[in-house]
């Protein structure tokens, strides 16, 4: 994917915005991304619009992208609506990169937007809970002991089971999971667009309301609203600037039935991405992972190859993945603290990493960041993620 570059990025703040709509959120993100790319709407030849739960939460179906983007100036070129659970926006980005790198178009835009904070929050929980095979829901409940009530998402039961399984394999404790959440909140204090920017102690995380053992409330990603957009272009359409961000790899996989010992979708996708980008885990400077619940970050450390199996807690406590460490994970605050408006998350990760590689993240800037990886997962199928995207970005210097 040598000819796909990030020309511009933009995103809204993430949070709960009663008067915002999917359209107003998308308009803000698209406007910022086009301005960053020094482009007009008329320069865009293809648009991929990601939204995961609008049909169930707001009632908007069928033409979600056309409706949300009608005031952005992007109507006219093809708008492709993308829904792939929590990996919707990374899927849209994957498609935009493919369209550009194949020569189909010179400029494409990937947009992810989600409106989840509504009066009846059970609507959001129920919508998230559809990212499974509903015809086999009973099998999933039997496998994971999932028994979600109206005050939480079914996925927190799944993540709780994964946390318990990981603890049994690695020796991780609830305190380790709380440390992940505390780290994320520390990073988010430096991100003006994060949903939650107050620092938290491990004790505060452990003391918050129990959701599903071992997960407490502050170990779970919040419901919120937000949008993010990325302009993807060929190299000769980039604005003149001292640094460029190249898409070195963008791999999308679907989950499958896994037998004991089989590699996960995350492992398979990351191996393919490393090969395509001609880098390895040790080369990464900054990483954004899909920490919908705190144990997921520790699991990702190991499955991405950042540390040996079972060493996730050790890597966390070493400071290696904190700001100031060798490989910073979730400098944005991650899903736990930046927030997780599910249809926007994948593009938000790309925005953060592109900004890191361009050196414009202010107090949370990772020093000398040159190679970045994003991991975005969506849904659950059997014992694996239903959708999984790995993206590797690299920084280049010089003029186009």
Strands 107-114 and 46-50: parallel
CB 36 within 8 A of CB 11: no
CB 86 within 8 A of CB 379: yes
Residue 133: count other Cβ atoms within 10 Å of its Cβ.
Answer: 14
How far apart CA 389 and CA 124 sit, in angstroms, is 23
Cβ within 8 Å of residue 17, ≥6 positions away: 25, 117, 225
Catalytic residue among 86, 97, 220, 307: 86
**Gyration radius from the chain CA atoms:** 19
Residue 49 main-chain phi, psi, to 5 deg: -110, 120
Task: Establish whether 86 is a catalytic residue.
Answer: yes
Cβ within 8 Å of residue 82, ≥6 positions away: 48, 49, 50, 51, 88, 89, 91, 92, 95
Within 13 Å of residue 25, how many CA atoms lie on the same side as its CB?
A: 31
Within 13 Å of residue 9, how many CA atoms lie on the same side as its CB?
A: 22
How far apart CA 322 and CA 326 sit, in angstroms, is 8
Active site residues: 86
């Amino acid at each position: 994917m040598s000819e796909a570059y990030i020309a511009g990025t933009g995103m809204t703040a993430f949070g709960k915005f009663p008067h915002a709509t999917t359209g107003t959120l998308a308009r803000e993100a698209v406007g910022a991304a086009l301005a960053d790319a020094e482009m007009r709407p008329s320069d865009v030849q293809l648009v991929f619009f990601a939204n995961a739960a609008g049909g169930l939460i707001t009632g908007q179906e069928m033409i979600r992208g056309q409706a949300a983007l009608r005031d952005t100036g992007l109507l006219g070129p093809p708008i492709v609506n993308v829904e792939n659970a929590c990996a919707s926006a990374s899927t849209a980005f994957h498609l935009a990169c493919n369209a550009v790198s194949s020569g189909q178009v010179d400029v494409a835009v990937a947009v992810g937007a989600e409106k989840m904070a509504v009066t009846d929050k059970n609507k959001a929980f129920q919508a998230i809970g559809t990212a499974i095979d509903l015809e086999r829901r009973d099998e999933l409940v039997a496998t994971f002991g999932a028994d979600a009530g109206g005050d939480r998402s079914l996925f927190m039961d799944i993540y709780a089971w994964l946390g318990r399984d990981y603890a049994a394999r690695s020796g991780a404790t609830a305190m380790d999971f709380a440390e992940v959440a505390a780290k994320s909140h520390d990073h988010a204090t430096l991100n003006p667009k994060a949903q939650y920017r107050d620092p938290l102690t491990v004790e505060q995380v452990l003391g918050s309301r129990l959701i599903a053992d071992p997960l407490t409330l502050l170990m779970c990603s919040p419901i919120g609203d937000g949008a993010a957009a990325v302009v993807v272009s060929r190299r000769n359409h980039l604005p003149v600037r001292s640094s460029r961000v190249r898409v070195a790899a963008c791999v999308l996989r679907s989950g499958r039935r896994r037998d004991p010992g089989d590699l996960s979708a995350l492992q398979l996708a990351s191996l393919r991405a490393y090969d395509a980008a001609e880098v390895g885990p040790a080369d990464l400077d900054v990483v954004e992972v899909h920490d919908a619940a705190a144990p997921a970050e520790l699991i990702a450390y190991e499955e991405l190859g950042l540390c040996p199996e079972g060493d996730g807690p050790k890597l966390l406590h070493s400071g290696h993945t904190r700001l100031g460490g060798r490989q910073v994970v979730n400098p944005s605050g991650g899903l736990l603290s930046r927030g997780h408006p599910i249809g926007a998350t994948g593009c938000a990760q790309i925005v953060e990493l592109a900004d890191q590689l361009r050196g414009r993240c202010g107090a949370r800037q990772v020093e000398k960041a040159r190679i970045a990886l994003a991991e975005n997962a969506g849904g659950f199928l059997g014992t694996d993620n239903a959708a999984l995207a790995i993206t590797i970005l690299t920084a280049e210097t010089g003029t186009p």
